[in-house]
Amino acid sequence: MNEIIRHIEYLLVTHDCVVIPGLGAVLAHCLPARYDKSSEMMLPPSRTFSFNITLNHNDGLLVSSVVRSKELSFEAARSLVAGEVEAMRRELDRCGVLSLGLAGRLVSSEGTLSFEPSTAAALSPDYMWLPSIPMVEITTLAKQRAAASALNQSKRKPRGIVDYVSYAARIAASLVVLIALGFVLSTPIEVENAQYASLGIENFQSAPDSTHKESPLLKMPGHSTSAVTLYLRTHDDACEVVDTAAHAEYVRMHKAGLLTECVTTEQDVVSSSVRFNPEDNYYLVVASLVNEADADEFIANSKNKQLGILAKDGRYRIYAATGATYREALSAADLLADSYSSAWVCRK
């Protein structure tokens, strides 16, 4: 298998465009959820791939992946990728078919190059777990229910004379019960000293209490009431242990004006933790420009003032960190990943 095929598959998981220098670019397209009438299935969102032969300029994405994987310099990785692409061209000319792994394959026929995308879902982890849902049209479902209802009606036995007599007896028994219940409910019952519902609370007293025996639970308007006392209960497990000696010293120095606020930005912290020595042999490059004027403008517009220029091979490379060894320069890429996600290491 070609060496860079696995890099193409790896990059397509998180990127929508991967350029194969000198050959073309594999593009990813997101498809929304859709209804397949032939299979009567609601298909979930997915991704498909296409190939554009005109996008063949080296954008550094594939080469950077090889640099990280094999710990090579950028120039060595670019040479490796160029050799692999040439081998892919020869295979396409010889066999007429070139596999691009899980993305699909290129087919050359009578001087025409076409691309056949793969149906593999491994390159789309956001959608690969979504299932397809079977769907039934409402008209079809209504027809099925109507047919089932008609079948049940046909299976029912016709009522005989016994069924009608039983039905009439049940109705008569129900009428007798309703008449008897109405007679019972309509008869008046005399009750002496009856207690009726009322909105008043004059007879409602609180439970006996040893300290407030004469205080009702609710007071009538105009009556005096005692004050309500709230007790706040503290918890020992909610306190914070403080070094009292250190805290007292801090308060004393703060009142005397001996403490000053120190504000540092994230960029200052990162810059102080990376190596920056122009005498080193390895440089962490964040941009590569064609002339020195563009390089000076890039540094002037950057928020990071700790940048340098490395003139090599007719280009002006902007570097943000250095290293005595390759690994030391590469380790700075993790610290500067938020500001320079595509940085790579170049040898002086």
* b/e map 80-113, b = 16+ CB within 10 Å: bbeebbeebeeebeeeeebbbbbbbbbeeeeeee
326: pLDDT strictly greater than 50: yes
- Per residue in 279-303, pLDDT (tens digit) is 888 998 988 888 888 888 888 888 8
Report CA Rg, the chain. Answer: 42
Cα–Cα distance, 302 to 287 (Å, whole number): 12
- Per residue in 85-99, pLDDT (tens digit) is 999 989 988 899 999
- Look up the pTM and report it: 0.40
φ, ψ (nearest 5 deg) of residue 218: -120, 140
* Confidence (pLDDT) at 51: 92
| Domain range annotation of the chain | 5-134, 266-347
Lowest mean pLDDT among 170-179, 186-195, 307-316: 186-195
- Per residue in 113-128, pLDDT (tens digit) is 899 998 777 788 887 7
CA atoms within 13 Å, Cβ hemisphere of 13 = 8
- Per residue in 230-277, pLDDT (tens digit) is 555 544 444 444 445 555 666 666 666 654 443 344 444 445 578 888
According to DSSP, residue 203 is labeled T
What CATH homologous superfamily does 266-347 map to?
Answer: Sporulation related repeat (3.30.70.1070)
Sorting pLDDT into bands at 50, 70 and 90, what band is 340? confident
